[in-house]
Amino acid sequence: MPKYKIKILKDKCIGAASCVGIAPAVYQLDDKNIAYVVKEDGDTQENILLGAQSCPTNAIEVYDADTNEKVWPKD
Amino acid sequence: MIKPQSFQAKVAEHIELNKKYHLLRLELIEPHRLEFQAGQYISIAIGGGERRAYSIVSTPATNHAVDLLVDVEPAGKGSTYMKNLNPGDQVEFLAPLGQFVLANEPKLLFVATGSGIAPFKSMLFDLLEYKKDTREMWLLWGLRQVEEMFWEEEWRQINEYYANFHYRLMISKPPGLWPLVSGHVDKELNDVALNQDWGVYLCGNKEMIAEVAQMVQNRGVAIKKIHQEKYA
């Protein structure tokens, strides 16, 4: 079971692709240049989180899969 | 695209261009070289696990450091962190990031507002000074006030030296009797003979991007040749 659950806020995504650059097996862009999740456990937890943290618009939310607690972004 | 990695760097210079815009040079420590494409950005750690994105202003030829343009006026967490950096301070960033890079169109139009000029400085200086590119290129840059102006001399010099480069700076809120161009960047588009040969690169506020993207489409530029990077 993946450690993280990932939620993409599609209306915030600007297609900057920093997430794709850091964890391409987890994040990709669709034909409208909007990010989507390919595989929630496709990379290390560190890279999954870095991919989300590198997003310039905070369009990626990361949750602990067990507790459902939001890991990123910090409110 | 080159896989991004984490860099440690030291602030080598912090220049206050004016009250709104600062230029920071980060000298790389480890790794000590960065390969990137003009137009890409870095994601800098600002503490508390938070990061902010800044386009690289310097060209890929300067691979031992990156120059960043910072708008300090929002006074949010990111801009305050950057404003308070001093020479010698150490920072961590991820790079290179982003796909706002040049495609291969025969003619190039760049439209920026405010600090949206950052990736275009890297792209245009790389094209003109290092690649000796002879394609027709236009840069339209909008600022709000005269007090926000900077880099006038750099752009004036390359405008004078390279016949294929054309440059207009517009001030949207000029003082009375302002002798140069005033108004918004979209007005100046009429001087560019746009057609399907052009690639259009837009960087800045989302209103300008939406407006100019629609205008250039109406004048024959295909949507896939309109490249954009929105700044918050």
- Residue A21 confidence (pLDDT): 87
At residue A28 the predicted structure's pLDDT band, cuts being 50, 70 and 90, is: very high
Under the banding of pLDDT at 50, 70 and 90, the label for residue A37 is very high
Mean pLDDT, to the nearest integer, of B175-183? 63
Over residues B51-64, mean pLDDT? 95
B185 against B212, higher pLDDT: B212
Of the candidates B225, B165, B216, which has an alpha carbon nearest to the alpha carbon of residue B190? B216
B41 touches chain A (CB under 8 A): yes
Name which of B1, B97, B230 is nearest A54 (Cβ-Cβ).
B97
- The answer to whether B13 and B23 are in contact (CB under 8 A) is yes
Mean pLDDT of B179-191: 70
A14 interface with B at CB cutoff 8 Å = yes
Fold of B5-97: Elongation Factor Tu (Ef-tu); domain 3 (2.40.30)
pLDDT tens digits for range B2-32: 889 999 999 999 999 999 999 999 999 999 9
B contacts of A16 (beta carbons < 8 Å): 41, 53, 97-100, 229
Nearest chain B Cα distance for residue A39, angstroms: 19
Spell out which residues of chain B touch residue A53, defining contact as CB-CB under 8 Å: 43, 49-51
Residues of A in contact with B7 (CB under 8 A): none
Question: Is B227's Cβ below 8 Å from some Cβ in A?
Answer: no
pLDDT of B115: 96
Stretch (H or E) spanning B217: helix B206-218
**Options 3.30.1330.10, 3.40.50.170, 3.40.50.80, 2.40.50.1020; CATH of B107-230:** 3.40.50.80
Asked if the model's pLDDT at residue A52 lies above 70, the reply is yes
Q: Percent of chain B, pLDDT > 70? A: 94
Query: Which of A45-59, B83-97, B154-168 shows the lowest per-residue confidence on average (mean pLDDT)?
Result: A45-59
Residues of chain A neighbouring B230 (CB-CB closer than 8 A): 14
Residue B100: its chain A contacts at CB < 8 A?
Answer: 16
Beta carbons of B53 and B41 less than 8 angstroms apart: yes
* All structural domains of chain A with their residue ranges: 4-72
- Checking if the pLDDT of B185 tops 80, the result is no
Rounded Cα gap, residues A50 and A19, in angstroms: 8
DSSP B225: G
What mean pLDDT is predicted for residues B40-67? 93
- Reduced to 3 states, what is the DSSP secondary structure of residue B46? strand
Q: Which pLDDT belongs to residue B213?
A: 94
Q: How far apart are CA B123 and CA B157, in angstroms?
A: 16
CA distance B43 to B83: 16
One-letter amino acid of B21:
Y
Residue of B42, B43, B50, B92 for testing the chain A interface, max A β-carbons within 10 Å? B43
- What's the distance, Cα to Cα, between the start and end of chain A in Å? 26
- Partner B contacted by A38 (CB < 8 A): no
Q: Which two tokens stand for residue B76?
A: 């949010």
- Residue B173's pLDDT band, with cuts at 50, 70 and 90, is confident
Domain boundaries, chain B: 5-97, 107-230
CATH class belonging to A4-72: alpha beta
For chain A, give the number of residues. Answer: 75
The whole-chain average pLDDT of chain B stands at 92
Instruction: Output the pLDDT for position A45.
Output: 93
SS3 content of chain A, % helix, strand, coil (to 5): 20, 25, 55
| Residue reference for tokens 């003109």 | B128
Q: What was the pLDDT predicted at B183?
A: 64
- Whole-structure pTM value: 0.89
Please name the residue of chain A whose CA is at the shortest distance from the CA of residue B93.
Answer: A54
Share of chain B above pLDDT 90, in %: 78
Closest CB from A21, A56, A74 relative to B4: A21
